[in-house]
Structure 1
Amino acid sequence: MLSVYYGCGLRRSEGVALNLSDINLDKNLLHVRKGKNYKERHVPISPASRRHLTQYIYDHRNTLLRYPQTDALFLSKRGTRLQGQSMILRLKALQQQSDSTTLRAKEIGLHTLRHSIATHLLHSGMKLENISLFLGHSSLESTQIYTHLEAHENNL
């Protein structure tokens, strides 16, 4: 789940709203139907996220499924749609399992994953305009925070 949040740059609400029908493994695309301000977008699925999604969908999701009529992608232990708070708790649990005291001390959340993928894309040479489309930002100004992050990191 966290691989999908990171790899696809999802907001918390976008990830929990995902349905099985929003995943196109053949085309490596994820359809975000419920983006901010009701905007839709298609996001490429990275090879790592594709592997994790395939494994989850075919090997694990069915063990959680208690209501066959649900199209929800991510399910709770009760078989219902996983909520955003549960995702945050899972991320925090993974953080606390880390051997790094620095990582355990950091304040992180699902939005941290979104910032991380954007920063990594920027460092890899992706144009800010494309990062903006990837993240589903309405304007380039919304994405410019990542250029400030990169400039700050370069000054350290």
Structure 2
Amino acid sequence: MNAKPANLSMPRRMLHDVRRLANAIRAFSSGVDTGSREENASKQESRASVLIQSEPKLLSQEKIMPKAYWIVGVTVHDEARYPEYLAAAMPVFEKYGANFIVRNGPYEVVEGAARKRIFVIEFKDRATAMECYTCPDYRAAKAIRQKYSDGDFVIIDGAE
């Protein structure tokens, strides 16, 4: 039977910190010890305790920032002029590392209502998503978009 192993991956930042801590413990406890096995183990535990106290950041539960998304629904009223918005917005999206996950593909409304065009745009975190939305260049692009369309706009954190 070829069963796939469970995915036991941890966030990259946490994995990096665990490896760093393990390497620091190895380096800290690599001194040559003499004495019994129990004495050496006791000395290594003592060294590790000192190391852990000196590196509390490594063991703290650092907040790993989840990705953030713009979820946008747009109904365009002036198809001929809407490309003006795209021309103004695309350089801003590139500047902030925006990644289009959904770009106006075919869809079915199975509950509620939806706009004619649906977009999901990924950012590295909420701060970047908000910074992009509030920067002067995007505010100028948004003013163009709002002239030629109506929309619903949500910025939301991803699940991590």
- TM-score if structure 1 supplies the norm length? 0.25
Q: Relative to total residues, which structure has the larger strand share, 1 or 2?
A: 2
Q: Relative to total residues, which structure has the larger helix share, 1 or 2?
A: 1
